[in-house]
Amino acid sequence: MKALAYEGEANVNVVDAPKPSIGGPTEALVRMTLTAVCGSDLHIYHGRIPGCEGCVLGHEFVGVVEEVGSEIRRFKAGDRVVSSFFSSCGHCYYCLRGWFNQCVSKATFGYGKHFGDLGGGQAEYVVVPLADHTLEPIPHDLGDEQAIFVGDILATGFFAAERAEIKPGDTVAVIGAGPVGLMSIMSAQLFGPARVFAIDMVDSRLELAQGLGAVPINAGQTPAVDAVKAATGGFGVDRSIEAVGDLAAIASAIECVRGGGTISTVGVPNHASGDFPYLQMWSKSLTFRSGWCNVQAYMRPLLDLIAAGRLQPDAIISHRMKLEEGKEAYRIFDAREATKIVLTP
Amino acid sequence: MKALAYEGEANVNVVDAPKPSIGGPTEALVRMTLTAVCGSDLHIYHGRIPGCEGCVLGHEFVGVVEEVGSEIRRFKAGDRVVSSFFSSCGHCYYCLRGWFNQCVSKATFGYGKHFGDLGGGQAEYVVVPLADHTLEPIPHDLGDEQAIFVGDILATGFFAAERAEIKPGDTVAVIGAGPVGLMSIMSAQLFGPARVFAIDMVDSRLELAQGLGAVPINAGQTPAVDAVKAATGGFGVDRSIEAVGDLAAIASAIECVRGGGTISTVGVPNHASGDFPYLQMWSKSLTFRSGWCNVQAYMRPLLDLIAAGRLQPDAIISHRMKLEEGKEAYRIFDAREATKIVLTP
Amino acid sequence: MKALAYEGEANVNVVDAPKPSIGGPTEALVRMTLTAVCGSDLHIYHGRIPGCEGCVLGHEFVGVVEEVGSEIRRFKAGDRVVSSFFSSCGHCYYCLRGWFNQCVSKATFGYGKHFGDLGGGQAEYVVVPLADHTLEPIPHDLGDEQAIFVGDILATGFFAAERAEIKPGDTVAVIGAGPVGLMSIMSAQLFGPARVFAIDMVDSRLELAQGLGAVPINAGQTPAVDAVKAATGGFGVDRSIEAVGDLAAIASAIECVRGGGTISTVGVPNHASGDFPYLQMWSKSLTFRSGWCNVQAYMRPLLDLIAAGRLQPDAIISHRMKLEEGKEAYRIFDAREATKIVLTP
Amino acid sequence: MKALAYEGEANVNVVDAPKPSIGGPTEALVRMTLTAVCGSDLHIYHGRIPGCEGCVLGHEFVGVVEEVGSEIRRFKAGDRVVSSFFSSCGHCYYCLRGWFNQCVSKATFGYGKHFGDLGGGQAEYVVVPLADHTLEPIPHDLGDEQAIFVGDILATGFFAAERAEIKPGDTVAVIGAGPVGLMSIMSAQLFGPARVFAIDMVDSRLELAQGLGAVPINAGQTPAVDAVKAATGGFGVDRSIEAVGDLAAIASAIECVRGGGTISTVGVPNHASGDFPYLQMWSKSLTFRSGWCNVQAYMRPLLDLIAAGRLQPDAIISHRMKLEEGKEAYRIFDAREATKIVLTP
């Protein structure tokens, strides 16, 4: 089958890989119908993730089930499904508590040996382990482009918004208006905030944010924290969301909330550790939440919201390409010439 | 001053009443700039509320503060304010717990001797007792028509929606699309439901509901509970809101929710007691919430939401008239020729 | 094998029944080591549940797994387990939302044809369907008597307390101090109430309640609602729990809460419907919750609490008998000569 | 009047200070009947708080109201009251949202010029500003020793526990078993945890913790985080509370929670900023809450809990002395010879 493989830094190629097959009763074989390139794929692309040489890439995908193991209960061959970007077992200590992202059997698709050594979704076929707790059936009336992002970036944006504890009438700042930031804005709007501020330095992203009902603030033109405070009577916002993965962005997210507020961060931190304003956190009685998305808990309600027209995650797709064009797709995504690229086989 | 007075069944007249004056340090005198006729005013109009003879009517109003008692802290003469439909003290057993609607000093404007004997707001002036905990200052950029409903029907709709425990992705049914029902729909949308069903028998109301994003169901043309179940895979909605005040409507609200769901009712029940499906409540593990609105807890966030353009409660105003036309206003509102009438002095 | 069978009104006998065997990959065969007689078994005993002729009774039991179907993941032969009183599938519309008690495949052990036609636990062996989502492994350091009640009455008491929304410092009234009422008191204490009032007419039960930290009120000697109000400054309790299943008891539970309070009822209502104080519910802004226990959601944390010594549900066991003495056990339990009876094979 | 004044590093003396008098309608004059020395008084004692020269110390006190300003509503002369350690206005942006500790008019008793320049409670008389929102009436049946700690350390411990999001059955670790840590343990028990681990290096404190139902871990004898993990199946606790104010203690609090858990810290950080494990926070999806206590929100329910016998905060009092012995009291408290010292006039 055709697949995109990582073959060294900045070197992603279309290769001819062996078609995978299911190896146990809890697995499923999926024929991919749509896949996407994710910001976190670029970490591999730049050689920052060890253990990925030769790996088939991709962890965002939808497809049609071709074959299921004997214990699969929630779908059957022929059903359309969307995948979480990681697998979970459904019955370990963490899964029983609803923390699927902490599953002791967790593995990430297309992320190399150190993340579970799973084949990726940027391929014609992919085998999904623990499939009953990793895949979600897609309602008939939803297209692939509508469904695909519930498995990663939309769920991540929703997770960010939910953990921000937004209440109707609150003000919210979202730091970063890339794909995850845009999904965070979209999701934050579901919790009834009075105003959502979008902070970024790229005008085209801020325009998309504005289209989602946010008030744009270009941090390249004005000090963003000052702008947020000026717009909130000097107090700051009730909640902030960080969707960049940069300690400076996190610092702004902390700085711009009022006393008693909440900071929710989902960007992968660019440093394992760094300076933190402990005294300010204490004197302002703040809550700081961080995390990578607990996808499995959100896929179904998000699909319902998309089917009802309340969320249009596909609006951020800027490029539709073929799997064969994968090399070029990585190049333009890395060059920031695209907001979001999807690929068909 | 001019005022609307109740002078017997179906007999509301413009009268010349003495201008009231403040009688204590916690009171405020307000010059009314906009008032409204409420569905509950019709209970007086039809002679169903004892103790209202000669009473100046009205409990929805905004105005300008003319004079304040010495202990008022939250506003001063010249400030624009909107009033809750009832007064609360802010420091009794209930107010300290945030249940202002249970305040031991509660009194309702323009509702006669048995509800605290307060003058009403359908007059040029009104005295507001316990004003720091009864009035809310209006932001400069909000018009009177935008602000007025936070003191009664919008707060009631929001209270209904909040108590319904709506979560993003839920389905919701709102029984009744009169003024309170429409406000409930508008408010429910703040909690991120996938779909809201509006049930009524009047097409014009259902059109307004549809304009607010609801799916209309005409209960005069189709059995409403069946329609709701058919649209939700046979399960029923996650949450239902009753905004009529009729035991049959409450029965439908209970009938149309799924197991584990919540019913939130805010209509004044048309019978003090009646039959209740105890076994169904138990076998389906349901939650039933009832109540009259805890207005004081919601006025400020609702004003924020209106100022931000997230709520447009004034959209339901169908008639703008003068206080002198009050008699006619009551007539057409009672005849259901108007959705909502506001009066200026 | 030996088993207790229902053979007509007030006629329960030890019989020789065929040993059951597992019939599918999601089932488990359990060798019973302890079983109990439940208040709801008496409904069958009195002939009030159709379809029970010849049925092996019992839905509270612990035991040792003898054999498991091929898809069982959470335990294996030789493990000790406690059972929920009903089975659930874990992947239907309701189970995915955490409402196991509404599972579309739900069946109750030992309750006859109309409740899923499952064999009961008052027998040497019992087959458990959908066992991964129906049984819970027992920690090594817990005895059978400590574990058994998490499958029914303790979970029910906890469910009642959790749904009552008790906050630290609240006052709580529990109507009924039978087995479920005592479990409700025990569970309510986990939520930090200032005071818990126990209302019953049987002194021995009130003594047990007092031993659990409750303030006893003998409703046979004093009007209970008046006593509760007198003890709470005239306001009433913040939360009430009804654990009887009687409309008069529910009426008291509603009557004795303050404005804004919550009523949580878990007793099986003795009438399908009856009078309900709609106007009082509305004017006091009350919440009324009813339901049968969502057992599967609580078994694990309850076992943790018992293991840590925070709950001692076995304290209510008044009689320890042999399965062969089952006929006599039913007689004395029905005669109210026992608080709770457990049987060993 | 007699008072304790700060007159330079390690130099606290009994002085003859002028009796204060009320200067406005929202103030109250309180005759002190019991006061305490707090750990944070030692920061002044050691000269670490600028602006305290000549200041009357003390922010924990109960007393009898001698005189009230004209706008006081919640108590009158002759009433017994306990004070929060800081004042709040009740109607600013923050107070209206329930965040009294962020009040724009906040001032701390006995903490010098930079904290509002209020006279302290280690004196025969103290004037309380904004008294309706700073003092709480004491129920008749509570003694001074029972009531005093709701104004500071007990409220702080409860705040820590509440923000830790403890659910029935959870495991909890409390780092530090000094006065605030002990109050945190006591408060954590109100939320129904299965087990609470107390971590300290002082055996006498660990004994007190054990008396409150905690499992003691002496961090001087065993690596505390390892011990917590070993006792929780390797996963870590669900929630941790830090009550020391030391970045190393906070690091342990983060280290010892399981994925998806919550850290709640209330100790005043000993450094304004420092290293923070951003990547671990993200990969384990943790919540980090910090803050100084929102006292005014908790005084009333805590008094109810003490009156009901659910909390015995006075159990930690180790020394009862006279105000005249204040110099000696500071010496022995600073030398860690006392757990908690109270003074009478």
Q: Which of C268, C277, C288 is nearest residue B273 as measured by Cβ atoms?
A: C277
- Angle at which helix D299-307 crosses helix D153-163, to 10 degrees, equals 100
**How much is the mean pLDDT over chain C?**
96
What residue of A is the nearest CA neighbor of B232?
A304
CB atoms B91 and D73 under 8 Å:
yes
Task: Return d(Cα B16, Cα C112) in angstroms, integer.
Answer: 75
What residue of A is the nearest CA neighbor of B161?
A168
Per-residue pLDDT band at D86 (split at 50, 70, 90): very high
Taking CB atoms and an 8 Å cutoff, what residues of chain C touch A300? 96
Taking CB atoms and an 8 Å cutoff, what residues of chain B touch A196? none
Taking CB atoms and an 8 Å cutoff, what residues of chain A touch D102? 258-260, 284-285
Q: What is the DSSP letter of B278?
A: H
**Beta strands at D237-242 and D171-175: parallel, antiparallel or unpaired:** parallel
Q: What is the pLDDT of residue C114?
A: 94
CB atoms C195 and D308 under 8 Å:
yes
The dihedral through the CA atoms of D313, D316, D322, D325 has a sign that is: negative
Angstrom CA distances, B92 to B220, C73, D74, D207, stand at 46, 56, 8, 42
Q: What is the pLDDT of residue D187?
A: 98
Q: What is the DSSP letter of A24?
A: S
CB atoms B132 and D25 under 8 Å:
no
Taking CB atoms and an 8 Å cutoff, what residues of chain A touch D281? 269, 288, 290-291
Taking CB atoms and an 8 Å cutoff, what residues of chain D touch B139? none
Using beta carbons and an 8 Å cutoff, which residues of C are at the interface with A?
25, 70-71, 73-74, 91, 96, 132, 300
CB atoms A285 and D292 under 8 Å:
yes
Separation in Å, CA of D175 to nearest CA in chain A: 17
Separation in Å, CA of D156 to nearest CA in chain C: 15
**Contact between A344 and A323 (Cβ < 8 Å):** yes
Task: Return d(Cα D144, Cα A247) in angstroms, integer.
Answer: 49
Strand partners, D305: none
CB atoms D310 and C194 under 8 Å:
yes
**Contact between D208 and D339 (Cβ < 8 Å):** yes
Using CB atoms within 10 A of its CB, is residue C309 exposed (0-12), middle (13-18) or buried (19+)?
A: exposed
Angle at the Cα of A125 from the Cα atoms of A119 and A127, rounded to 5 degrees: 50
Chain C touching partners, 3 or more CB pairs below 8 A: A, B, D
* Pairs across C and D, CB distance < 8 A: 58
Angstrom CA distances, B245 to B178, B242, C157, stand at 11, 7, 34
Separation in Å, CA of D259 to nearest CA in chain B: 24
Task: Note the pLDDT tens digit of each residue in B320-333.
Answer: 999 999 999 999 99
What residue of B is the nearest CA neighbor of C238?
B97
CB atoms B132 and D91 under 8 Å:
yes
Return the structure tokens found at B185: 């729909």
Work out the average pLDDT over D92-107.
94
Per-residue pLDDT band at C193 (split at 50, 70, 90): very high
Chain B touching partners, 3 or more CB pairs below 8 A: A, C, D
* Pairs across A and C, CB distance < 8 A: 12
Return the structure tokens found at C267: 């007793």
* Pairs across A and B, CB distance < 8 A: 58
Per-residue pLDDT band at C7 (split at 50, 70, 90): very high
Q: Which of A194, A302, A308 is nearest residue B304 as measured by Cβ atoms?
A: A194
Place of tokens 């002729």: C53
**Helix, strand, coil distribution of chain C in percent, nearest 5:** 30, 25, 40
CB atoms C91 and A132 under 8 Å:
yes
What residue of A is the nearest CA neighbor of D282?
A291
Amino acid at C288: F
Taking CB atoms and an 8 Å cutoff, what residues of chain A touch D286? 289-291
Task: Return d(Cα A332, Cα A342) in angstroms, integer.
Answer: 12
Task: Note the pLDDT tens digit of each residue in B151-183.
Answer: 999 999 999 999 999 999 999 999 999 999 999
CB atoms C194 and D308 under 8 Å:
yes
Contacts of D230 (CB under 8 A, 6+ apart): none
**Contact between A72 and A26 (Cβ < 8 Å):** yes
Taking CB atoms and an 8 Å cutoff, what residues of chain D touch A271? 278-279
Angstrom CA distances, B38 to B48, B339, C41, C300, D60, stand at 15, 10, 54, 52, 51
Task: Return d(Cα B135, Cα B299) in angstroms, integer.
Answer: 9
CB atoms D286 and A290 under 8 Å:
yes
Q: Do domains C2-152+294-344 and C155-290 have the same CATH topology?
A: no
Q: What is the CATH number of domain C2-152+294-344?
A: 3.90.180.10
Task: Return d(Cα B150, Cα B85) in angstroms, integer.
Answer: 10
Per-residue pLDDT band at C58 (split at 50, 70, 90): very high
Per-residue pLDDT band at C120 (split at 50, 70, 90): very high
Per-residue pLDDT band at C33 (split at 50, 70, 90): very high
Share of chain D above pLDDT 90, in %: 99
Q: What is the pLDDT of residue A87?
A: 97
Tell me the three state secondary structure of residue C135. strand
**How much is the mean pLDDT over chain B?**
96
**Contact between B141 and B22 (Cβ < 8 Å):** no
Q: Which of C168, C187, C308 is nearest residue D194 as measured by Cβ atoms?
A: C308
Task: Return d(Cα B221, Cα B200) in angstroms, integer.
Answer: 10
Separation in Å, CA of A73 to nearest CA in chain C: 8
Q: What is the pLDDT of residue D340?
A: 96
pLDDT tens-digit profile, chain B (345 residues): 999 999 999 999 999 999 999 999 999 999 999 999 999 999 999 999 999 999 999 999 999 999 999 999 999 999 999 999 999 999 899 999 999 999 999 999 999 999 999 999 999 999 999 999 999 999 999 999 999 999 999 999 999 999 999 999 999 999 999 999 999 999 999 999 999 999 999 999 999 999 999 999 999 999 999 999 999 999 999 999 999 999 999 999 999 999 999 999 999 999 999 999 999 999 999 999 999 999 999 999 999 999 999 999 999 999 999 999 999 999 999 999 999 999 999
Closest Cα partner for D50 from D124, D120, D105, D112? D112
Closest Cα partner for D318 from D305, D304, D336, D303? D336
CB atoms C91 and A25 under 8 Å:
no
Annotate A68-117 with DSSP letters as a single string: E-TT--S--TT-EEEE-SEE--SSSHHHHTT-GGG-TT-EEBTS-GGGT-
Task: Return d(Cα D186, Cα C176) in angstroms, integer.
Answer: 30
Closest Cα partner for B289 from C287, C238, C257? C287
What residue of B is the nearest CA neighbor of A308?
B194
Strand partners, B31: B64, B125
Angstrom CA distances, D314 to B85, C85, C195, D187, D325, stand at 46, 45, 20, 14, 20
CATH topology of domain A155-290: Rossmann fold (3.40.50)
Residues in chain A: 345
Q: Which of A193, A194, A301 is nearest residue B168 as measured by Cβ atoms?
A: A301
Per-residue pLDDT band at C105 (split at 50, 70, 90): very high
**Contact between B201 and B224 (Cβ < 8 Å):** no
Q: What is the pLDDT of residue B113?
A: 95
Domain assignments of chain A as residue spans, ordered by start: 2-152+294-344, 155-290
What residue of B is the nearest CA neighbor of D91?
B74
CB atoms D192 and C191 under 8 Å:
yes
The dihedral through the CA atoms of C159, C163, C168, C172 has a sign that is: negative
Per-residue pLDDT band at A261 (split at 50, 70, 90): very high
Separation in Å, CA of C79 to nearest CA in chain B: 32
Taking CB atoms and an 8 Å cutoff, what residues of chain A touch C91? 73-74, 132
Place of tokens 């929202």: D26
> ipTM of this predicted complex?
0.95
Separation in Å, CA of B253 to nearest CA in chain C: 14
Q: What is the pLDDT of residue A22?
A: 96
Work out the average pLDDT over D251-271.
96
Annotate D139-202 with DSSP letters as a single string: PTT--HHHHGGGGTHHHHHHHHHHHTT--TT-EEEEE--SHHHHHHHHHHGGG--SEEEEEES-
Taking CB atoms and an 8 Å cutoff, what residues of chain C touch A25? 71
Q: Which of B71, B96, B132 is nearest residue D300 as measured by Cβ atoms?
A: B96
Q: What is the pLDDT of residue B152?
A: 97
Residue C181 phi/psi, 5-degree rounding, is -60, -45
Annotate C138-169 with DSSP letters as a single string: PPTT--HHHHGGGGTHHHHHHHHHHHTT--TT
Annotate B94-134 with DSSP letters as a single string: HHHTT-GGG-TT-EEBTS-GGGT-B--SSBSEEEETTGGGT
Closest Cα partner for D191 from D140, D238, D123? D238
Taking CB atoms and an 8 Å cutoff, what residues of chain B touch C272? 277-280
Taking CB atoms and an 8 Å cutoff, what residues of chain B touch D73? 91
Contacts of B330 (CB under 8 A, 6+ apart): B4, B12, B37, B41, B42, B45
Separation in Å, CA of C156 to nearest CA in chain B: 12
Q: What is the CATH number of domain B156-290?
A: 3.40.50.720
What residue of D is the nearest CA neighbor of C170?
D301
Tell me the three state secondary structure of residue D109. strand
Task: Return d(Cα A148, Cα A83) in angstroms, integer.
Answer: 8
Work out the average pLDDT over A82-106.
95
Residue A37 phi/psi, 5-degree rounding, is -100, 130
Strand partners, D257: D237
Return the structure tokens found at C225: 């609602």
**How much is the mean pLDDT over chain D?**
96
Q: What is the pLDDT of residue D296?
A: 96
- pTM, rounded to two decimals: 0.95
What residue of D is the nearest CA neighbor of B133?
D91
What residue of D is the nearest CA neighbor of B91?
D74
Per-residue pLDDT band at D11 (split at 50, 70, 90): very high
Which of A141, A305, A306 is the best substitution to test chain B (most B C-beta atoms within 10 A)? A305
Per-residue pLDDT band at C20 (split at 50, 70, 90): very high
Which of B190, B191, B299 is the best substitution to test chain A (most A C-beta atoms within 10 A)? B190
Pick left, alpha or beta for residue A185 (phi over 0 → left; psi -120 to 50 → alpha; otherwise beta): alpha
What distance separates the 2 farthest-apart alpha carbons in chain A?
A: 61
Amino acid at A249: A
